[in-house]
Structure 1
Amino acid sequence: MKLYVIKGEKAIDITEVSGSINLSTSVDTLGASLVFNIVRNYNDLSYIFSDEIETGDVIILTNEKELFKGIVVSISTTKYSRTVECLDYCFYLNKNKVIKQFDHIAASVAIKQLLQEINAPEGEISNISTSITKVYYSNTIAEIINDILKQVNEELGVKYKLEFIDNKFNVNPFKKINVEFRYKQTGNETINESIQDMKNRILVTSNEQESTEILAIAEDTKNIEKYGSLQEIINVDPEQKEAKVRNIAKTKLKELNKVFKTVSLEGFGDDNFRAGRVVYLNNSKLKLFGEFLIKSCVHTWRKGEHIVNLEVELFEE
């Protein structure tokens, strides 16, 4: 593993003076974050470079391949160390607000238009036919893309994620990785079960403020009898076809009508782990077998060890 800061045209290796390097991704957050400590000693000229790292500098983390590239957004300095926080280039999608109107435009086309607003480099953007009709006032580009992908998920039942990889923005479905979670026992394993996010009745209504018409209903009567009514309302364009609206209700019910089970695992790391990937687990102690979606992932490099902490949930296609 190597950590570099870019100064002008030079890539300066700061691995040896850095410690506690943490790389984090989450399905609920756009982009990746990197936090590391760097040694400083104002009485020792050999450490003077640590004070030359500035906000806005580019930081790159590699391990045979590039794992992170982003900019320094904040620095905390004490007498003998500095803590440096970096965000990948999704930072700019989170910080640029736009006014945008889409009128029956395919989701993939709408996302490309949003990236073009700030001349963001496009990578692989999956072809997504979901029609987007909506006006966005003073929303960030990240907020709009998240809303578009939410509409896609509601209609198609397919989850997509925007990521900054290989210096480009990519939008693809959550994907499987061809590795099993291989790790030595650390004892840090937890299963959490909750019904706080459960929804067993879905109403689809018109997004016109003047209308209260219910366009579709999907519900699980047995689940309602057991847990009580837990209702969600989804607003859609009233011009949507009836079959499409019914499908949105069924898809959302399938996604939310369950006891949510998340599992926290810790072990020796693999660079391929990242939020939004699907990993196979074979854990007899916790009775975890099959494919699980990585909801959040934190890689930590410290004293020559690479530890990964995952939060996963059962993956349902």
Structure 2
Amino acid sequence: MIVKWLKQSNSEEYDISDFVSTITWSGSVGQASRQLEITVIYSPIEKNIQEINISIGDRLKLLTDGGALLIDTMVYSRERKSEQGTVQYSSYDDLNRLLKSSGTYIFKNTTPEAIVRTVCNDLQVGIGRLVETKVPVKKMLVDSENIYNIIMKAYTKAYQSTGKKYMPLMIGRKLNVIEKGDIVTGFLLQDDYNITSSSYSESLDSMINKVRIYNDKGNQIGEVKTDEWINKYGIFQGAYTKEDGVNQTTAAKNMLTGINQEASIEALGNTACISGYGVQIRDSLTGLWGKFWIDTDTHTWQNGVYTMSLDLTFKNLMDIQEVEA
């Protein structure tokens, strides 16, 4: 892997791959922003070791050996450990600025795509490809809210209308919003080939098997349910209030949630396996067989070995934000 350091003071870029002992590249659906951590060899006593003094605000890039960019980040923290002779740098892509910024807006007669353009322009964050939902947002008021949450509220409205799931993703320094859940092509996780360990669990904690639909006056106007789940586990009820421009039945059905199934995999690494994407698995030890979605991923390069740790879900889930009717 190639690690490059862009020094803000002189805008010069340096290849520091030879001085990096450990690389950790990670992300999760809930965290949104992806992170890059590197450990750099440091020894003020040993004159043969070149000093790499990366400052807060400098940028770090991680590229494949073929030169494909995986992440472009800004350094947020550094920690020097004298007993180990190393400095650890933690950096995040520019989606982190959306997570750490807030704003107040009144959106009327617009679309999720237009809302993204407005908030990104205010923060001078570049915009890449935004999936065109064309879902009308009649009115959305936000008061001192997190910018990332504003974006996800807008796309939650789209999800409630279309049933499609959406995910923001930084490509380079540009924010993209894509349909969530594409499967990593041409790749299979298999217990007798690239899986080193695995685990599997089930839980009833998130069950919703009946949703009552209400109008803005609090009167029930509809209902969706899953009789099979109700007969087996009893009623776990949710409520949905009808919104303008949103299909009430689709929105209520999207709230139905069955048994929560989770799995984790340790395996040889593949850079295409990142949060929000799906993978094919054949693991006879846990019985994991079929298509799963990555909720959290951690990729590590150390001592010439590339491994990854994946937390998986059995459903393609979106980061849903509560939206007022």
1:32–1:235 Cα change, 3 Å = farther
Amino acid at match of 1:278: G
Contact 2:25 2:299 in 1 (8 A): yes
Runs of 4+ in 1 over 6 A off after TM superposition: none
CA offset at residue 104 of structure 1? 3.0
8 Å contact from structure 1 (residues 107, 148) kept in 2: yes
Task: Indicate whether 1:68 and 2:75 are aligned.
Answer: no
Equivalent residue for 2:158? 152
Q: Which moved more, 1:38-47 or 1:112-121?
A: 38-47
Aligned to 1:245: 248
Tell me by how many angstroms 1:314 deviates: 2.9
Cα 1:55/1:214, change in 2 over 3 Å: farther
TM-score by length of 1: 0.89
Higher deviation after alignment, 189-198 or 108-117:
108-117
Indicate conservation of the 8 Å contact 1:155/1:251, yes or no: no
Pick from 196, 203, 218 the counterpart of residue 224 of structure 2.
218
Partner of 1:232: 238
d(CA) in 1 for partners of 2:160, 2:207: 16
Could you say which residue in structure 2 is the equivalent of 1:196?
Answer: 205
1:94 to 83, 93, 99: 99
Measured on the aligned residues, the alpha-carbon RMSD in Å equals 2.2
Structure 1 alignment gaps of length 5 or more = none
Shift of 1:190: 0.3
The separation in 2 between residues aligned to 1:24 and 1:92, in whole angstroms, is 17
Deviations 1:226-256 (A, max 9, x none): 223322334453x446xx1122112322xx1
Q: Describe how 1:45-60 pairs up with structure 2 within 5 A.
A: 45-47=47-49, 49-50=51-52, 52-60=53-61
| Superimposed CA distance per residue, residues 156-206 of structure 1 (whole angstroms, 9 cap, x where no aligned partner) | 221111101133111110222213234645542001111111211223445
The count of residues paired between Structure 1 and Structure 2 equals 307
Distance 1:111 1:125 in 2: 8
CA contact (8 A) 1:154 1:252 kept: no
- TM-score, reference length from structure 2: 0.87
Distance 1:45 1:307 in 2: 33
Q: Does 1:303 align with 2:303?
A: yes
Partner of 2:185: 178
Looking at structure 1, the residues matched to 248 and 226 of structure 2 have their Cα atoms a distance apart, in angstroms, of 18
Contact 2:26 2:298 in 1 (8 A): yes
Opposite residue 44 of structure 2, the aligned amino acid is Y
Could you tell which deviates more after superposition, 300-309 or 289-298? Answer: 289-298
| Cα shift at 1:303 | 0.4
SS in 1 for 2:197: coil
Greater per-residue helix proportion: 1
**2:71·2:172 contact (CA, 8 Å) conserved in 1?**
no
* 8 Å Cα contact 2:136-2:245 kept in structure 1: no
> Deviations 1:56-90 (Å, cap 9, x if unpaired)?
11000000211111100111222122221110010
Paired amino acid for 2:271: D
Counterpart Cα distance in 1 of 2:169 and 2:89: 22
Q: Is 2:259 the counterpart of 1:259? A: yes
Identity within the alignment, %? 19
Gaps of 5+ in 2: 318-325
The answer as to whether partners of 2:299 and 2:306 remain within 8 angstroms in 1 is: yes
C-alpha distance in structure 1 between counterparts of 2:308 and 2:132, whole Å: 33
